[in-house]
Amino acid sequence: MLFGRNKKNPIKLVDKGVVEWRYTTCGYCSTGCSIEVGLDQTGTAVASRGVADADVNRGKLCIKGILEHELFRKTAGRGDKPLLRDYRHETFREVSWDAALDKTTAEIKRIQETYGRDAFSIVSTGQIMTEEFYTLGKLARGVMGTNNYDGNTTLCMASAASGYKRSFGSDGPPGCYEDFDHTDCLIAFGSNLPEQHPVIYWRLKEALEKRKFPVIVVDPRVTMFAQMADMHLAITPGTDVVLLNAMAHVILKEGLHKQDYIDAHCADFEAFKTEIERWDPYTASQQCGVDEDTIRNVARLYAKAPKAMSIWTMGINQSTHGSDGVVAINNLNLITGNIGKPGSSSLSITGQCNAMGTREWSSCSGLPGYRVLEKEKDREEISKFWNVDPEFFPKKRGMFMTDILPAIETGQIKGLWLVATNPMTSMPNTSRIRKTLEKLEFLVVQDAYSDVETNQYSHVFLPAAVWAEKEGCFTNTERRVNLIRNVMPPNGESKPDLWIFNALAKRLADGKGPSFPETAEAVFEEMKVLSKGEDRILDISGMSYAKIEAQRGMQWPCREGDETGAQRLYTDGKFQHPDGKAKLIPLAFVDNNERPDDEYPFWLNSGRVVEHFHTRTRTGKVGNANKFSPTPYMEMNPDAAAEVGVSHGGYARLTSKRGEAVVMVQLTQRVSRNMVFIPFHFHDCVNRLTLGLLDPHSRQPAYKQCSVRIEPAADQVAAAAANAAARAY
């Protein structure tokens, strides 16, 4: 029955009194959505909306982006004044910027003079601007000279970067979102796109509505993405390399590979073929849990598709075989000729808004612009450009973040500077991290929020501006450099990270060494000079702030004189290894991780929910995001729950060999009988339990694979008491 249309109330949007919309880029995930923030007559940020003519998001935003203007509100926990305490357990006192920076400078100098330059270490982030990363790198490598400098991107994207370097000779995702519009087959490994990257998912859905092609999701859990896929392969955690080797086995055995492409563009095919011979689908199915017929069908589907592509996120990266998993995906795409063509790609879906920027320009893994410490030519170039003695640079990269924290335990590292990262919540094995931070002689925390858990252990807190309270660039998943225009002035006395780095550089350099431009745009112009060159893949010399804003982002490489950037890498089949070829790398598989046993019979898996971002430093304070997802919970299979006596909406205590945590139970068929899932965003929760064994190449922790036992917990009071006791443990 039709109701009278005229009588229906039209949908009305609340008028928020916006008088001006300001262009910028979303500061959460790496999708890179162009966003406008609406200001009312008083200059208060009251609304956010997607930019319609931006190619990435075409007017769309996810829930986090829609609420992003709320970050400018003066919420509890926003840092607005520098804080200092002389002893760790004293209460903070507010101090001037000079006092906080002088204290930090004095402690850095004291520790480096007493114990050596590498005894003071820096761990940064994927959250600040690329220009800020470049400046911090110059300060760390060119002034302080510590080799123990890394980013928290080791926790999320290190395996992708490592796998790209091993296969192609350089970091840098080869594909782009537009590949969805051309591909004939897509496999997603360990990526729950609708919840993690909703706008990229929408781009995929849009492509599928125009032109149907098979979508295959490989994930141990029946995620939202798995539910919409044509095929879901519920793989045993951590065994993606086994599945991918078996797919390669089928492709080679049945002659479905592209021999011409392999001959022209790949090295080491014979060694690869010998290893792959061992991985017949039956043997592989015993380890990876995917039956042999399905392995054969998927391998044929992928290899026979005229254009096929693979995407992945943390399900691959956060594993003891993370880097190998990425190499295995690259192997698959190389033998099927699926690199560098529209619709044919290996495309890692990045986590943080500027995890790419730190990989490109921060000097964490070496020197800026994908240069490395191990090459004399790279050291010479940068030392000349920065006015630094080339011998000041180490000849090999130092520790990763996941090695820096254990080096504090052993006394090798005495001082630490954390920039927009929160290891008390993000690192595996919380109890161990707490004890580690307590061992430091000096800890400085630089963050937009003074209530980040890690700040409880600091001596100095430096309040930083958040996101669009400053200016600069982020690089997104598809190598697109986007501009963040300043929308609001920084909160209280907080300062842009660039200002903080420059202020410390002045104090630490004593007028010697490199120069430090003051504005983000001047830093960008300096980076452009360094990026230029025919042999440089990461060339941004054809970009400018004005062009980036006008085009709503530009992809690199974009060489001097180019009107716009290149959508894809390796279109000519020339790779970055010295011989110009990609490497086909044979991958053995050693099952070295913790697995369920009689005492700890459940797999523990972790991941994200759409409302929150990382450790909830920001989204934990944003009204509706926090209301929709206020508390940690555990997904558990109803049959398993009945066996251990746990009920829906009740509480359960999880115990691993590291510690215990109590969470609310949500019964669902999304997880199998021997697996549970907990979102990773909450403090004192899943990372109390995780083991986090490290990948040997990328040093990324295997967050998603450990084992636990589960028992009922009485109520919320018991839950709080147990968690408090666990904190003291």
CA count, 13 A, side-chain hemisphere, 50: 19
Segment lying near ligand SF4 (by CB under 6 A), choices 61-69, 222-230, 512-520, 642-650: 61-69
Nearest residue (CB) to ligand SF4, 199 versus 523: 199
DSSP state of 495: B
Compute the distance between CA of residue 596 and CA of residue 589 in angstroms, rounded to an integer.
19
Beta strands in 495-631 (DSSP E): 554-555, 582-583, 602-607
Give the shortest CB-497-to-ligand SF4 separation in angstroms: 20
Among 64, 321, 434, 568, binds ligand SF4 (CB under 6 A): 64
Contact of 335 with 262, CB cutoff 8 Å: yes
Stretch 27-46: interaction string toward ligand SF4, x if CB under 6 A: -xx-xxx-------------
Compute the distance between CA of residue 59 and CA of residue 203 in angstroms, rounded to an integer.
12
Nearest residue (CB) to ligand SF4, 49 versus 304: 49
Segment lying near ligand SF4 (by CB under 6 A), choices 26-34, 110-118, 343-351, 705-713: 26-34
Give the shortest CB-402-to-ligand SF4 separation in angstroms: 26
Query: Furthest-apart CA pair in the chain: how many Å?
Result: 83
CA of residue 569 relative to chain centroid, distance: 21
Give the shortest CB-346-to-ligand SF4 separation in angstroms: 21
Q: Does 62 bind ligand SF4 (CB under 6 A)?
A: yes
Question: Which of 574, 610, 568 lies closest to 177 in space, CA to CA?
Answer: 568
Nearest residue (CB) to ligand SF4, 445 versus 610: 610
Beta strands in 528-599 (DSSP E): 554-555, 582-583
Question: What backbone torsions phi and psi does residue 626 show, to the nearest 5 degrees?
Answer: -75, -35
* Pairing state between β 266-267 and 45-50: unpaired
Compute the distance between CA of residue 105 and CA of residue 97 in angstroms, rounded to an integer.
12
Give the shortest CB-313-to-ligand SF4 separation in angstroms: 13
Q: Does 351 bind ligand SF4 (CB under 6 A)?
A: no
CA angle 42, 44, 46 (to 5 degrees): 125
Give the shortest CB-26-to-ligand SF4 separation in angstroms: 3
Q: Does 65 bind ligand SF4 (CB under 6 A)?
A: yes
Nearest residue (CB) to ligand SF4, 33 versus 413: 33
| Close Cβ partners of 160 (under 8 Å, ≥ 6 residues apart) | 173, 312, 316, 317, 326, 348, 350
Nearest residue (CB) to ligand SF4, 63 versus 664: 63
Compute the distance between CA of residue 422 and CA of residue 617 in angstroms, rounded to an integer.
9
Segment lying near ligand SF4 (by CB under 6 A), choices 11-19, 59-67, 264-272, 621-629: 59-67
Give the shortest CB-511-to-ligand SF4 separation in angstroms: 41
Q: Does 126 bind ligand SF4 (CB under 6 A)?
A: no
Give the shortest CB-352-to-ligand SF4 separation in angstroms: 10
Nearest residue (CB) to ligand SF4, 61 versus 646: 61
Nearest residue (CB) to ligand SF4, 28 versus 393: 28
Nearest residue (CB) to ligand SF4, 33 versus 444: 33
Question: Which of 597, 592, 586, 588 lies closest to 694 in space, CA to CA?
Answer: 592
> Could you give the angle at which helices 520-531 and 376-386 cross, rounded to 10 degrees?
140
How far, CA to CA in Å, does 187 sit from each of 251, 281, 643?
Answer: 16, 18, 35
Nearest residue (CB) to ligand SF4, 307 versus 618: 618
Nearest residue (CB) to ligand SF4, 33 versus 388: 33
Give the shortest CB-132-to-ligand SF4 separation in angstroms: 19
Tokens 């070295």, located at residue = 592
Compute the distance between CA of residue 83 and CA of residue 94 in angstroms, rounded to an integer.
5
Binding to ligand SF4, residues 450-479 (CB under 6 A): none
Binding to ligand SF4, residues 196-215 (CB under 6 A): 197-199
Give the shortest CB-188-to-ligand SF4 separation in angstroms: 16
Give the shortest CB-481-to-ligand SF4 separation in angstroms: 14
Compute the distance between CA of residue 103 and CA of residue 444 in angstroms, rounded to an integer.
10
Return the H-helix or E-strand segment holding 98. Answer: helix 97-115
Cβ-proximal residue to ligand SF4, closest one: 65
Tokens 């929308």, located at residue = 487
Burial class for 264, CB neighbours closer than 10 Å (0-12, 13-18, 19+) = exposed
Nearest residue (CB) to ligand SF4, 197 versus 583: 197
Contact of 441 with 149, CB cutoff 8 Å: no
Give the shortest CB-463-to-ligand SF4 separation in angstroms: 24
Binding to ligand SF4, residues 497-536 (CB under 6 A): none
Nearest residue (CB) to ligand SF4, 51 versus 100: 51
Length of the chain: 729
Q: Does 26 bind ligand SF4 (CB under 6 A)?
A: yes
Q: Which two tokens stand for residue 597?
A: 């046993």
Question: Which of 704, 694, 589, 595 lies closest to 241 in space, CA to CA?
Answer: 589
Give the shortest CB-447-to-ligand SF4 separation in angstroms: 19
Nearest residue (CB) to ligand SF4, 24 versus 576: 24
3-state secondary structure of 237: coil
Sign of the Cα torsion 113, 118, 120, 126 reads: positive
Give the shortest CB-62-to-ligand SF4 separation in angstroms: 3
Q: Which two tokens stand for residue 622?
A: 């944003």
Can you state the percent helix, strand and coil of the chain, rounding each to 5? 40, 20, 45
Question: What backbone torsions phi and psi does residue 48 show, to the nearest 5 degrees?
Answer: -135, 145
| Close Cβ partners of 212 (under 8 Å, ≥ 6 residues apart) | none
Q: Does 553 bind ligand SF4 (CB under 6 A)?
A: no
Nearest residue (CB) to ligand SF4, 35 versus 247: 35
Assign residue 36 a region: left if phi > 0, alpha if psi is -120 to 50, beta otherwise?
Answer: beta
Nearest residue (CB) to ligand SF4, 54 versus 445: 54
Give the shortest CB-553-to-ligand SF4 separation in angstroms: 12
Nearest residue (CB) to ligand SF4, 206 versus 268: 206
Give the shortest CB-75-to-ligand SF4 separation in angstroms: 18
Segment lying near ligand SF4 (by CB under 6 A), choices 57-65, 293-301, 370-378, 461-469: 57-65
Burial class for 546, CB neighbours closer than 10 Å (0-12, 13-18, 19+) = exposed
Among 37, 45, 51, 61, binds ligand SF4 (CB under 6 A): 61
Give the shortest CB-315-to-ligand SF4 separation in angstroms: 19
Question: What backbone torsions phi and psi does residue 351 show, to the nearest 5 degrees?
Answer: -90, -80
Give the shortest CB-587-to-ligand SF4 separation in angstroms: 32
How many chain residues touch ligand SF4 (CB under 6 A)?
14
Give the shortest CB-144-to-ligand SF4 separation in angstroms: 33
Radius of gyration of the chain (CA): 25
Stretch 159-198: interaction string toward ligand SF4, x if CB under 6 A: --------------------------------------xx
Nearest residue (CB) to ligand SF4, 141 versus 621: 621
Nearest residue (CB) to ligand SF4, 33 versus 503: 33
Question: Which of 441, 477, 458, 266 lies closest to 351 in space, CA to CA?
Answer: 477
Segment lying near ligand SF4 (by CB under 6 A), choices 62-70, 298-306, 315-323, 332-340: 62-70
Q: Does 357 bind ligand SF4 (CB under 6 A)?
A: no
* Pairing state between β 45-50 and 34-39: antiparallel
Report the interface residues with ligand SF4, using CB under 6 A: 26, 28-29, 31-33, 57, 61-62, 64-65, 197-199
